[in-house]
Amino acid sequence: MSRDTVRVRFAPSPTGYLHVGGLRTALYNYLFAKKNGGAFVLRIEDTDRSRYVEGAVENLIDALRWAGLDYDEGPGKEGGVGPYLQSERLEIYNERVAQLIEDGKAYRCFCTPERLDEVRKKAQAEGGQPKYDKHCLALSEEEANAKLDAGEQCVVRLNVPEGETISFEDRVRGTVSFSSDTLDDQVLIKSDGYPTYHLANVVDDRLMGITHVIRGEEWLSSTPKHVLLYQYLGWDVPEFAHLPLLLNPDRSKLSKRQGDVAVEDYRAKGYLPEALVNFVALLGWTAGDDREFYELEELVEAFTLERVNKAGAVFNVEKLDWLNEEHLKKQSPEALLPAVRAAYEASDIKNKSASDDYLVKIIPLMLERVTFPSEIATTAPYFFDAPTEYDEKGVKKRWKDDAAENTRALADAYEKLDAPTKDDYERVLREVAEKKDLGAGRFIHPARLAATGVPGGPGLFDVLELLGKGEVVARLRAAAERLG
């Protein structure tokens, strides 16, 4: 596999739903791959069996597809370097670990949890860093085999050298260096026989031809261990890019305690995938200008790792809402129809007989006034049910002493029309106002209250045309009677 071809991966653990931080990592990998004519690989890191959640893999794939981030290789899309589930690659990891043990780069550790706890407490009491003391490194091969034959459980640890500086280049942070004395002898194979993230991650990235490792900042401190593994196995180190943390408005790390963090949460609330993708793209990256609205194809064109920030990015829901409104305006009524109908059917609106054609006509009138597609029907129930109550403040401000009389006159004039259009409703209203020598506003505001029950909304004559003459006349007469 050519190392000249860009290959990146998104490697989530199936422990639940897709976190918005995971969506951003997937997005940046996707954008980088598409920008550079490369491949975007999905790999499922499911070796921590204690945290595995049934159905999580399907949820992850569904969330990525909903967001428009289709992977080139992964589960169900074989690319010649699978399997793409780590739990199906155990033999591969065992081969590499055997090589590391033979070369003295890793060793078996038989220490009990009790001894490890003692080592940790002793180090803390002495003011040192709580890490493993290499006790089992001194075991001979014969001693280790004897313990294995006796049925003792063990793990395999990385043999971290002492007194060395481990450095690597990061596309976001520049040169990053760690002292090996701060690193623990990381467990590579657990007592259950499954590899840890660190071993499986390095082996799979190499064997899957990954050229650029783009992941969250939380993995930065683990990277020197990964660099050691690459060196110990005689492999070239890929390029790294560690993305900034996502923060709550109070600059604490984004967590469920302060709000929704799962992609599914935002999907269920009615956010458009285009808006959520646009939003997370801007959490730590900018094209260097003031632009904020992007379609996915435009993000591909604009994205570079060099414009990713080091500083944490604040998750601002107000900005997400604004982007959702902007993307909503770009949608066709037909595309929004399923969401609008679902909300309409689930609402407490009494009249449930509206056709798809009728709903499609409502959508353009409401797009400028809502954040979510589901609000298009539910915030304007007057399109379906005649008002039984009238906004108190609107009545006090707009229903003047002559409003009932003027509204009846308007109803009489409308009743004489034959299949009136929006222009007919407006023309007749102005004619009636002129005959009475009054401003059009003395008819428009009471007519809106009568037709909708509220003082604001889409254009009055658009609403009247959609309601139809019979319904309009009935509502005008009802309001004149009730409000007096």
Which residue, among 82, 102, 79, has the nearest Cα to 33 in the 3D structure? 79
Which residue, among 449, 469, 457, 451, has the nearest Cα to 376 in the 3D structure? 457
Query: How long a stretch of residues is the chain?
Result: 484
Give the pair of three-digit tokens for residue 20. Answer: 């918005």
Gap between the Cα atoms of 375 and 328, Å rounded = 11
Q: According to the model, what pLDDT value does residue 296 have?
A: 97
Question: Are 128 and 114 spatial neighbours (Cβ–Cβ below 8 Å)?
Answer: no
Domain boundaries, the chain: 7-74+196-247, 91-189, 331-383, 392-483
Preceding amide of 195 cis, omega within 30: no
Output the tens digit of pLDDT for each of the chain's 484 residues: 556 799 999 999 998 899 999 999 999 999 999 999 999 999 999 988 888 889 999 999 999 999 999 999 999 998 889 999 999 999 999 999 999 999 999 999 999 999 999 999 998 888 888 899 999 999 999 999 999 999 999 999 999 999 999 999 999 999 999 999 999 999 999 999 999 999 999 999 999 999 999 999 999 999 999 999 999 999 999 999 999 999 988 888 887 666 678 999 999 999 999 999 999 999 999 998 999 999 999 999 999 999 999 999 999 999 999 999 999 999 999 999 999 999 999 999 999 999 999 999 999 999 999 999 999 988 999 999 999 999 999 999 999 999 999 999 999 999 999 999 999 999 999 999 999 999 999 999 999 999 999 999 999 999 999 999 999 999 999 999 998 8
Over 121-144, what HEC string results? HHHHHCCCCCCCCCHHHHCCHHHH
Cβ-proximal residues to 32 (8 Å cutoff; 6+ apart), any chain: 6, 8, 38, 212, 214, 303, 305
Q: According to the model, what pLDDT value does residue 2 have?
A: 53
Give the three-class secondary structure for 248: coil
Question: Are 172 and 308 spatial neighbours (Cβ–Cβ below 8 Å)?
Answer: yes
Catalytic, out of 256, 310, 350, 400: 256
**Catalytic (active site) residue 256:** yes
Fold for 392-483, please state it.
Arc Repressor Mutant, subunit A (1.10.10)
Cβ-proximal residues to 343 (8 Å cutoff; 6+ apart), any chain: 270, 373, 374, 375, 376, 377, 378
Q: According to the model, what pLDDT value does residue 257 have?
A: 63
Helices and strands in the chain, H and E counts? 20, 11
431 Cα distance to chain centroid: 54
Classify domain 91-189 by CATH number. Answer: 3.90.800.10
State which amino acid sits at residue 482: R
Question: According to the CATH classification, is domain 7-74+196-247 in 3.40.50.620?
Answer: yes
Cβ-proximal residues to 64 (8 Å cutoff; 6+ apart), any chain: 10, 18, 26, 42, 70, 71
